[in-house]
Structure 1
């Protein structure tokens, strides 16, 4: 039943306008800092609904925001006084276990996707946060623990079905619209509304993984041990390191609840009988852990190891990700210094890259950081004042202090929307090509609530040629 008298020709989903029951809940995304009030929220059921709502927005000159999972840290899944194309209800997943392929709609979360593919012992590289939607993560490149074996999420896409800015519904793959296919694998939501993703799947039958917990004083030794281990680790091994104020999770000893500590979460996707040998340097290194939870887990249980925080709709978030070629002692000391002097709401996540990511040539996709060995996420999460300097300043100063060593920011974790930071996420050649593709498929920049790449105009082309 509709909650508003507004109707759109050809639209079969649900429409919500300000004042309608459910509107206030529907307008919120998983970052309370993005507190915006769209003129219309269109909960789509299929591609025809997307076509209808885009036609409505174009005819009235309304801004358009696209929402899949709604967890982007910049809050791009909503806007003021515009139209939110809400894809969260589009959750169909079709799996062909013999061909090892899956087709999924953009409202699917990684928790839902992994549960479906693991019924057949299959998976695709994805994030550890099960509440993240598949759409935004994939379009921004997509880094996960399986990436050292099987590449980025976007490396494993076989096709995109999408609705373009002018209302066409088409497929982009390696043979049809190859430039668009290239741009969608790393260029974010700049080029259309994806209504179906085709994925190539891989066999994943559990993982040996868990949390190795250390007190804060051991953090410098722990991170150096992890860095040195990764240099020679097989592709089937991966790692995440956390510097945080520990919540009361089952794997954290009680005396460290709400205390600062360093946690290594290694994973081994190879033969289980080899896990002890591969993970030994992390488990029995120079720093003795206070807890070691390494065990054999179903992949879905591993993905739920770090639950989402409570009451995410009231939580303010400022998380920025940077790609690093290496973790030198100097870089580690900088990161540790920021963590040690910041408040309890500041944390650091370090993720292992390399392996298959680095072996894939840079040209076939728009992802620009194949040479990075590490990913660092600098996080501030708090309640209260949305623009609290106490919480924002440590996170901002931390990433600014890394600008002389970073390869660039990660578009999926870029809360700073200034054009020069979006441009820094790509090489010059990749950015210029993305701008040309944008000019072909979205010349009026309808899709601009994202890490935006404006279309390359004739004037811009002349300026580029003069460089």
Structure 2
């Protein structure tokens, strides 16, 4: 284990997370190489009375991978991965990114539902539920967890699974990092090698018709199909025609994971009905290449980010029109991302979990990303107004894209019944709230228990 203090060389870089808006100064950074290092670091934190922030990939928009005055438990060096292709099982440590995980599993023709951004870490994404393009077919990332190996605040190592500590297993699948430090994940994998997918690029004037077509298509699409839609100011990425570089445009990225001979028919209504795209990049490709279609921007660690995700049961004409009106009125650093839900997500294939809003059919991400002043009202205001306007129709925020850690939004992410169940679990496993730099679920105090 390597320990960094504010006086150590490399401390300033080590304390940073992906979002440049987050500027925290921990008292100590513990770089862990294995589970024994995690045990030692937690013991040191107990002796010094330090709260603990846990960092895997460090990508969460709220900056939960760091803190002021506490200990950062940096797990980014823990990257061991064992794959049993016959059992379709992966045992993974929390420092892996999705790019690293996908590269290894694809050597065996296997995959796990996860985000398309390959720089995101596997740990936080999984603990927050985990939505991915494969989720309509195979469920959330957390639905595919077989076990968690967890280090508790008091130094115990426990395994949570359907058979061991089942209530903790329930809470770790969507309840975030509230209960301890996961040092190993056991994942169920699925056969995936190639997909039919690619970008359909439209000019901004087509946006209302294109998004309605996408919505109507998803309503009857098989579970093997997925979709993401972006309303953005297009960067100069290869799949955007040069005439639309730095111009407002809408991109649909449909995906077909099923039998290849059915793909063209399933995607035909998106490619050939309504406004024709100025560019059609749909093709058969390797899953690993598909995961890299939307890479992180250059200098992304210097970028200020305020992104918030809301889970919607439907995408009405009124919601589409309001989102597009806000997009048209905002500056070039504001964008909207729509992601397909439904399918296996709603069926909870692994049984009940702490991820609550399974009836949502759409994920709506309001994005503000910019360089310069971190608290720029010009950039923040459209994003704040955008997600607030969705509240009358939102089921709740998505924990993995919740930049607002106020208790009311954490409760909204779970709903009343699930939140109260998580409070009881937190009281059992972390009664001193050591792990509070996250979407915090505070333990019930002793006096609250007596009153109850």
Aligned to 2:21: 33
Please report how far the alpha carbon of residue 215 of structure 1 lies from its aligned counterpart in structure 2 after TM superposition.
0.2
1:379 aligns with 2:367: yes
Please report how far the alpha carbon of residue 63 of structure 1 lies from its aligned counterpart in structure 2 after TM superposition.
2.2
Deviations 1:20-78 (CA, angstroms, capped at 9, x unpaired): 12111111110011111111111101111111111111221212110000000000101
For 2:191 and 2:410, the matched residues in 1 are separated by: 35
Please report how far the alpha carbon of residue 288 of structure 1 lies from its aligned counterpart in structure 2 after TM superposition.
1.2
> Which one of the candidate residues 435, 441, 450 is aligned to 2:429?
441
Please report how far the alpha carbon of residue 456 of structure 1 lies from its aligned counterpart in structure 2 after TM superposition.
2.3
Deviations 1:209-236 (CA, angstroms, capped at 9, x unpaired): 0000000010000000000000000000
Deviations 1:410-467 (CA, angstroms, capped at 9, x unpaired): 111000010111000012110000000000000010000001100123444577x6xx
Aligned to 2:86: 98
Aligned to 2:260: 272
Deviations 1:361-409 (CA, angstroms, capped at 9, x unpaired): 7962100011000000100000111100000000000000000000000
For 1:185 and 1:274, the matched residues in 2 are separated by: 33
Deviations 1:269-309 (CA, angstroms, capped at 9, x unpaired): 01111111000111012111100000011000000000101
1:319 aligns with 2:312: no
For 1:365 and 1:62, the matched residues in 2 are separated by: 30
Partner of 2:310, secondary structure, is: strand
Aligned to 1:281: 269
1:246 aligns with 2:248: no
For 1:240 and 1:462, the matched residues in 2 are separated by: 49
> Which one of the candidate residues 411, 416, 419 is aligned to 1:428?
416
Aligned to 1:216: 204
Please report how far the alpha carbon of residue 101 of structure 1 lies from its aligned counterpart in structure 2 after TM superposition.
0.4
Is the Cα contact below 8 Å between 1:362 and 1:370 reproduced in 2? no
Q: Which moved further from structure 2: 149-158 or 266-275?
A: 266-275
For 1:458 and 1:372, the matched residues in 2 are separated by: 36
TM-score, with structure 2 as normaliser: 0.98
For 1:306 and 1:360, the matched residues in 2 are separated by: 28
Partner of 1:449, secondary structure, is: coil
Mind listing any 5+ residue stretches in structure 2 that lack a counterpart?
A: none
For 1:355 and 1:361, the matched residues in 2 are separated by: 10
Is the Cα contact below 8 Å between 2:53 and 2:65 reproduced in 1? yes
Aligned to 2:113: 125
For 1:86 and 1:323, the matched residues in 2 are separated by: 30
Mind listing any 5+ residue stretches in structure 1 that lack a counterpart?
A: 1-12
Aligned to 1:44: 32
For 1:207 and 1:138, the matched residues in 2 are separated by: 23
1:359 aligns with 2:351: no
Aligned to 1:290: 278
For 1:137 and 1:210, the matched residues in 2 are separated by: 24
Partner of 2:392, secondary structure, is: coil
For 1:418 and 1:366, the matched residues in 2 are separated by: 19
Partner of 1:313, secondary structure, is: helix
Please report how far the alpha carbon of residue 97 of structure 1 lies from its aligned counterpart in structure 2 after TM superposition.
0.3
Is the Cα contact below 8 Å between 1:246 and 1:256 reproduced in 2? yes
TM-score, with structure 1 as normaliser: 0.95
Aligned to 2:12: 24
Equivalent residues in 2 for 1:410-421, closer than 5 Å: 410-421=398-409
Aligned to 1:3: none
For 1:98 and 1:20, the matched residues in 2 are separated by: 46
1:147 aligns with 2:126: no
Is the Cα contact below 8 Å between 2:224 and 2:256 reproduced in 1? yes
Is the Cα contact below 8 Å between 1:362 and 1:368 reproduced in 2? no
Q: How many residues align?
A: 452
1:260 aligns with 2:248: yes
For 2:287 and 2:204, the matched residues in 1 are separated by: 29
Q: Is the alpha carbon distance of 1:373 and 1:461 closer, same or farther for their aligned partners in structure 2, counting shifts above 3 Å? A: farther
Is the Cα contact below 8 Å between 1:125 and 1:145 reproduced in 2? yes
Aligned to 2:77: 89
> Which one of the candidate residues 450, 455, 459 is aligned to 2:438?
450
For 2:326 and 2:312, the matched residues in 1 are separated by: 17
Is the Cα contact below 8 Å between 1:435 and 1:454 reproduced in 2? yes
1:301 aligns with 2:305: no
For 1:384 and 1:238, the matched residues in 2 are separated by: 35
